[in-house]
Chain A
Amino acid sequence: MLDFMDRVQNAFYSAIHWNRDNSYARLNESARALLDFPTPRGIHLSLSSLSSPQSATSFSLSSLGPISGSLSYLYSSIPLPVPSTANACLQSDVIEGYRQLQELVPPRNKEEAEREREVWLGGERIDQKEALLYGRMYLPRGVLEGLWMRRVDETSVGVVKGVSGAGRGDGGTLLAMLQQDVGKWSMEYMYSSDVALLGWRGLYNFGRDPRTHPDPPELPPDKPVGRFSAGAELYYGVLNKSAGMSTGLRYTTLPKHPGIPLTMTVTLNPLMGHISATYAVRAGESAAFASRFEFNIYSYESDVVVGCELWSRKSPESSKRKDLSFLGSARLSQKGQLGLLWEGRIKELLFSVGGTVDFRETGRMGGGRLVKKVGLEVQYSS
């Protein structure tokens, strides 16, 4: 279940017309949402409020170990339409499931965007580029997280994230990212102060260039409509001399696809010899399935994970999306790990109950437990 602050950030992304899916980091997002969904641990309560269209606060309590909590504030320079928990649409806003990718759109015209943005007061422009400020303080530990996001120009967004070092005594970490997206391709450059980590991510979409052909081509109705994308990422840590890289390929069907929506990806890490392939489908409106196969050519370790997500319609006649109620999602891996999650809404509260069970954990020297994680999360926002 998406946290309130995550929902606000998603609303900010859509308000500034930023396509989050066009990034290599989200190449296999559909499969990951269906297979790697996080289950709550312990009891987690969160109370949030969109105090004004441009600011939001949230307070959370969790029973993980001793009672711990966090307090977060968010400010955005543009109004954000974030629905409350009573009105949020589970399927699109709250629960991340199969992610249907849309056709590429060209980046906004610069002059148009400026004209929309400009605010005059006393003969001067006082508007600024869209920005978002977010801070979160974890109370018992005294750790502070901060995020500053700002549109740099029509195709770029800069993000600076930081975590204070109170808990770890090393002075904190700062991550600076510059994301560039022109539709046909996108790149991200990042720098982390922890080990002076330099990173680069790139994604290239095969097919038409939305800057030259803004409208999607008309195809016969029974032809598959999809998009191939390829990407790569490179990381290099200057201080600890660590490097990492990976490449990936994705095929996803677009909304006009006649058959069921599906997404296939294959990723490769040549340094570690790791290959993984995923396949995710949405079978109608009520179910989505995904599977992943991983293999390591050096250590011959392999794993197969399958997951599913089920919805049910309250009344068969109604076709409104809001009437879908979430039944649950489950995943099972060949290593004997089972994850279960059930989310829903009671009155105005959003809750999620879930756990992780490991059937093969017993026998290790550390003494594994059968039920690794179980928890309940309750969310309320106004």
Chain B
Amino acid sequence: MAFNFNWLPLDTSSTTSSAFYEQAKSLLTAALNKSAKPPIIVDDILVDDLNLGVSAPDLEILEIGDIAEDRFRGIFRMNYAGDAFLTLRTKVQANPLNTYLSTTPAFTSPGPLVANSPLTIPVQITLSHFKLSGFVILVFSKAKGITLVFRNDPLESLKVSSTFDSIPFIANYLQKEIERQVRRIFQEDLPVAVHRLSLRLWNPEYAASLGNETTLPSRPASPSDKDTSEAPDPDTDHDPFASPSLHDGGEDVFTSNNVAHVAALHEAQKTLSLVTPKLRDVVFRAWACGSVSSTQTMWDKPALDFLLPNSGLDANGELPPDLAETRSISTAGTMTPSHGRRPSLSTSISSMSVGTTGSTTPARTPLRRKKKHRVVNLRKTQSTTDVPTTKMSDIPSTGTSTPLSETSESLPPPPPPAFSTVVNSPIQEEEAPVWGPDVKKPQPQRHFRHDSIDYESRPRIDMTAAERQRMLSELGPQVLQQAFIAKLVHEMRMRLKEEHESRAPGEKMWGVERELEQIEGDGLPAYGA
């Protein structure tokens, strides 16, 4: 992975850069004058000149903690030794007695006659020759914007030249003071500014809800504000994080056909029509009940990890080849793993499926996931346990009794054929929409055997290369198909998220989702603000 800085638009010779610089200058001027200035500055601080130079900072990736289509976390080492500069112009009070007396209470003032007469001197300060090197932690989340934090003090040196250069005492004082302030800005004000700027660019509603505080911080800033705010956004022009809307045409994510299918499915939930559009080659959230494992990281949610193609991406950005792994879910611990590749997962799942009918706790642990009962069993039961609840494991528990016998035979040995077989079975038409606008309750009466699907957890990044290689070679060209399906599923998730956002914040359409939120808390990406 590499970072490509498109620094050319900032070159002052091009026309686009002048508009950018004008806006940046006015933003910076407004920010500098927003808060109360120290009494020694008697006039507004104006930005005379701002130039980000011709060289971009060097970024070296040290560590990537998390990467997905809509989030990113990484640690970089940044070096900048370019020729950016910033020129400020203001007026300062030259009489120190005047400054002192204006800040002290008048009662104890010695009451000078004219010894405190003011003298304002215009001053121009130029900050240039920035040398920055430091470690920066960058966290990007589409919903929450960019957070950029310096681990150490990045400023190595800085040249301050002003109209007082001929007076060494004042020049030294200015150099020390401004260096101190710039260090403070990097540590304290810059993360806030970058965060707000990113929100303003990508998530205006959230930014507006923060109180319209969308300008840069109030202290005298440096061009590195712009430096580092531009640095982590290599794709400002081409934004792959833009939410793929239905009117998008699905340029790089989905074909319009599939998007239309999903839309139709979504709309079908809202009508009383008994007709539900069929979808080929889909997976449903309900199939992932109990598809949790002890090796899951915090980013994975129970029963959703198959809907999170991003979380399952390995370091190469490819989908795990075992998307179609099926895993049988049984009631009381009898587990029939589709293939014995991961016996540990199966046993852990079985142990989990036993104890999930209890109350759900809001505290999440990475190891144990409460199985969510997401479907209401409205059928005339043919199974032993017939509890019409909104618990998720009901269907698996009731359904597995009958088809369990057929599970082993109908279970196809290698994953891809099994997946396609299961997927191609028609979806029950009389499914009552009880949870989620675009996820279906599985119907164990038909051929649709969700329970016969074993979902192995994604190979995590910590998977060994050998294992990964083995999986890849075994699955071969089916990886592409899985990737496509995973993207479709991702699109459904986005729709669900949009649905959530468009709804009133407190209102939850389905009781299941309320419970889901209870369990998952606020870590759920789909529901994250």
Contacts and interface: CB of A to CB of B under 8 A. Distances in A.
Interface in B118-136: 118-121
B175 interface: no
B44 A194 contact: no
Interface in A238-259: 240-246, 248
Interface string A84-118: 00000000000000000000000000000000000
Interface of B is mostly: loop
Contact of B105 (A173, A197, A243, A248): A173
Contacts of B335: none
Size range of the interface on B?
20 to 34
A74 to B, nearest CB: 14
A274 B113 CA distance: 12
A274 B120 contact: no
B108 A244 contact: no
B25 to A, nearest CB: 14
B117 interface: yes
Nearest to A32: B113
A192 B108 contact: yes
A177 B109 CA distance: 11
B96 A242 contact: yes
B107 A233 contact: no
Contacts, number: 100
Interface in B273-308: none
Contacts of B425: none
A299 B97 contact: no
A161 B97 contact: no
Contacts of B112: 25, 199, 233, 235, 244, 246
A339 to B, nearest CB: 19
B110 A175 contact: yes
A194 B95 CA distance: 17
B114 A269 contact: yes
B67 interface: no
Nearest to B96: A242
Interface string B82-118: 0000000000001111011000110111111111111
B421 interface: no
Contacts of A161: 107-108
A357 interface: no
B163 to A, nearest CB: 13
B108 A173 contact: yes
A12 interface: no
Interface in A172-186: 173-175, 177
B424 interface: no
Nearest to B45: A365
B107 A244 contact: no
Nearest to B91: A299
Nearest to A161: B108
B33 interface: yes
Which of B96, B100, B110, B120 is packed against the most chain A CB atoms within 10 Å? B110
A24 B109 CA distance: 15
Interface of B: 33, 44, 94-97, 99-100, 104-105, 107-121
15 contacts: A27-B113, A145-B105, A161-B107, A173-B105, A175-B108, A194-B108, A199-B112, A235-B97, A244-B112, A245-B115, A267-B114, A269-B117, A272-B118, A276-B114, A299-B119
Please give me the 10 A-B residue pairs with the lowest Cβ-Cβ distance, nearest first.
Answer: A242-B96, A244-B115, A244-B97, A274-B117, A175-B108, A272-B119, A365-B44, A246-B114, A173-B108, A246-B115
Interface of A: 24-25, 27-28, 143, 145, 161-163, 173-175, 177, 190, 192, 194-195, 197, 199, 201, 233-235, 237, 240-246, 248, 267-269, 271-274, 276, 294, 296, 298-299, 301, 364-366
Given A248-B114, A269-B115, A272-B117, 9 more contacts: A175-B108, A194-B108, A197-B100, A233-B113, A233-B115, A242-B96, A245-B115, A246-B113, A269-B117
